[in-house]
Amino acid sequence: MAAVLWLLAVTLLPLCYGGRLSVSTQKLEIQNHLKQLNKPPLKSFNSPDGDIIDCVHISSQPAFDHPLLKNHTVQMMPNYRPQGGLFGDSKAVKRKSSKPMTQMWHSNGRCPKGTIPIRRTQGQDLLRASSVKSYGKKQQRTIPQPPKPAAPEPSFISQSGHQHAIAYVDNDKYYGAKATMNVWTPRIEQPNEFSLSQVWILGGSFDSDLNSIEAGWQVSPDLYGDNNTRLFTYWTSDAYQATGCYNLLCSGFVQISNEVALGASISPISSYDANQYDITILVWKDPKEGNWWMQFGKDQVLGYWPAMLFSYLSDSASVVEWGGEVVNSQSDGQHTTTQMGSGRFPGEGFGKSSYFRNIQVVDGNNNLRVPKDVTTFTEQSTCYDVRLGKNDDWGSFFYYGGPGRNPDCP
């Protein structure tokens, strides 16, 4: 059976890539790329969702294929973490939730110390990409650009139908950001579309040299081959032109955690008018080393983006954004029905709409604080919308999302 599937795959390759390479050349290209991505594991697990998780020695991870990291010494812990800005868990969330957030592969074991878990890339993953080299990379710039002071309307980058519902700040220097977001499984209409919720940390111009660090959850059939909700990261130092990728699908991000696999499925997931489950993501710049660190949950430090990967972010970020993004391919001339967040509008509130709560930024003194002058943006509020709020329990928060195509969004 496996041989038949492989034969079918390599036969279809010329159609996928639009080229005239021989089957043997294309097969070799895939094999070489898989060898580059999949490092020799010390141990492996089969996840209930069909993934294979490899436990790879920390010194053998993909990060060190980067030419700037050949002699890099792994920083096993950050020198500093942001201080202050603490909020308790919402009483409403506690009342509706009972299980901790985990990843599906945990049900079959854990990676030993000294290793990191990596989702294994399969041949069929590469076949879904437009080319082997483009696998794991964004094809378009999809960062919403804050409006200029003199512009009557915001000028956002939204090529290829990318649409957003976000909150953002752009009036200071930022050294990190934090947020807690509930996790859903939005419906995706077309395989080439996705839906995600994330934090963006940005520096530079939006044309050619944008520096971006991104982290959150996403549903992306093209990238993962299914409709599971997955933890993800992304980075670029040149506006997605040549650098960066999702998760560990290229060199750059240095992982230290043996508990969390980037790109792996998250469980459990929020349900409409029932249990709500959320994740907390913190990204901050170590004042001493200059590396950008990521923390998942209350205390799980995943790893860092080395400062040398960036130009503008080697100093600070100029924009922080939180919120959702979808691809609206309009393949049939109508707006997609791909959902953002829970697929419900912000007005439905807790238990029904998706939210970001306790949104914070890290200032120049390495302190977490509530952001000032938060602004919102969405391209089509009748399709996806965003609504700000503030209280003692959730600090600065917002509800966001929507169903996509509906009577008011044809």
Active site annotation includes 214? yes
Residue closest to 179 by CA, chosen among 354, 53, 366, 402: 354
Which residues, at least 6 apart from 142, have a Cβ–Cβ distance to it below 8 Å? 157, 158, 159, 160, 162, 240, 325
The two counts, helices (H) then strands (E), for the chain are: 5, 20
Look up residue 177 and give its two tokens.
């950001």
Catalytic choice (193, 325, 348, 379): 325
Alpha carbon separation from 354 to 132, 243, 269, 272, 347 (Å, rounded): 35, 31, 12, 10, 10
Spatial separation of the C-alpha atoms in residues 264 and 262, rounded to whole Å: 6
Cα separation, 382 vs 300, whole angstroms: 38
Say how many C-beta atoms besides its own lie within 10 A of residue 183's C-beta: 23
- For Cα atoms 260, 257, 293, give the angle at the middle one, nearest 5 degrees: 100
What whole-number distance in Å separates Cα of residue 62 and Cα of residue 351?
39
Catalytically annotated residue among 214, 259, 289, 321 = 214
The yes-or-no answer on residue 379 being catalytic is no
Give, in degrees to the nearest 5, the angle at Cα 381 between 282 and 348: 70
What is the sign of the dihedral through the CA atoms of 88, 219, 5 and 40?
negative
Asked if residues 99 and 107 have their Cβ atoms less than 8 Å apart, the reply is no
Q: What's the distance, Cα to Cα, between the start and end of the chain in Å?
A: 44
Query: 176 by DSSP, 3-state: which?
Result: strand
DSSP string covering 270-324: --TTS---EEEEEEEE-TTT-PEEEEETTTEEEEEE-GGG-SGGGT-BSEEEEEE
Q: H-type helices in 247-338, by residue range?
A: none
Token pair listed for 181 = 């977001």
Residues annotated catalytic, as ranges:
214, 325
